[in-house]
């Protein structure tokens, strides 16, 4: 399975104004290519902080307004492992963290990450108190897990094990302040 497929399924299964906070680099470009929407928050800097930003949005938003989805990567989660512990501590029921694990820092030349040696980030999430945490190896399994997470009454982590394949897509050329303002307006 490719990351692009995971992103496509995520967007298709969500409502048009459900927030998606997306990891820096190729994931942002792919999300933008799949569907640009005001409720997409493309990170243009700060590798590792997508899950922290998602946690903040989830804690600050009324639970009745639906789920907040984070699309992060193995490299991003490894850079900020403490974020899983913080999510486990506060347990916002409206947060779904999708971790795309391609065992590499894909945006900087596919250098291998620690998950290459068998480290299971969904197990770390579970041990951090996020009990609704699972790993999937196919797009069918991902969609089933995602639909389950959408109706869960607790935070969810879905680790999607993907290959490193990526389609050629354009950069996100929208200025940061515009992204911020339209995101805030969309999720209000
Ligand atoms: Mg990666």
Region 63-85 average pLDDT? 96
Task: Check whether 185 has a pLDDT greater than 90.
Answer: yes
pTM for this structure?
Answer: 0.97
Q: State the pLDDT at residue 114.
A: 96
pLDDT level of residue 132 (50, 70, 90 thresholds): very high
Phi and psi, residue 68, nearest 5°: -105, 130
Mean pLDDT for the stretch of residues 50-65: 95
Whether the pLDDT of residue 118 is over 90: the answer is: yes
Q: 164 C-alpha vs ligand 1 centroid, how far in Å?
A: 8
Contact criterion met (CB below 8 Å) for 2 and 102? no
pLDDT digit string, tens, across residues 31-57: 999 999 999 999 988 899 999 999 999
Q: pLDDT over 90 for what percent of the chain?
A: 94
Sign of CA dihedral 111, 116, 121, 124: negative
> How many structural domains are present in the chain?
1
Token pair for 146: 């995602």
CA of 89 from ligand 1 middle (Å) equals: 25
CA distance 125 to 116: 17
Q: Residues 167-174: what's their mean pLDDT?
A: 96
Ligand 1 ion local residues (Cβ < 5 A): 73-75, 102, 106
pLDDT for 176: 94
**Residues in CB range of 175: below 8 A, 6 or more apart:** none
CATH of residue 149: 3.40.50.970
105 Cα–ligand 1 center, Å: 5
Q: Is 48 helix (H, G, I), strand (E, B) or coil?
A: coil
What range does the domain containing 101 cover? 3-57+65-187
Question: What is the reported pLDDT for 42?
Answer: 97
């Amino acid at each position: 399975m490719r990351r692009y497929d995971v992103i496509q399924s995520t967007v298709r299964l969500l409502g048009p104004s459900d927030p998606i906070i997306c990891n820096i680099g190729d994931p942002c470009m792919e999300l933008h290519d799949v569907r640009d929407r005001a409720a997409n928050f493309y990170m243009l800097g700060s590798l590792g902080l997508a899950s922290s930003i998602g946690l903040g949005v989830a804690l600050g938003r009324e639970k009745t307004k639906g789920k907040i989805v984070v699309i992060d990567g193995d490299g991003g989660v490894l850079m900020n492992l403490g974020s899983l512990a913080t999510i486990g501590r506060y347990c916002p029921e409206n947060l779904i963290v999708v971790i795309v694990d391609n065992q590499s820092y894909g945006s900087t030349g596919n250098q291998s990450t620690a998950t290459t040696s068998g480290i299971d980030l969904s197990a770390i999430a579970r041990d951090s108190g996020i009990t609704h945490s699972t790993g999937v190896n196919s797009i069918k399994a991902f969609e089933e897990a995602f639909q389950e997470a959408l109706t869960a009454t607790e935070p969810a982590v879905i680790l999607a094990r993907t290959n490193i394949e990526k389609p050629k897509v354009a950069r996100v050329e929208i200025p940061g302040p515009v992204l911020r303002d339209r995101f805030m307006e969309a999720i209000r």
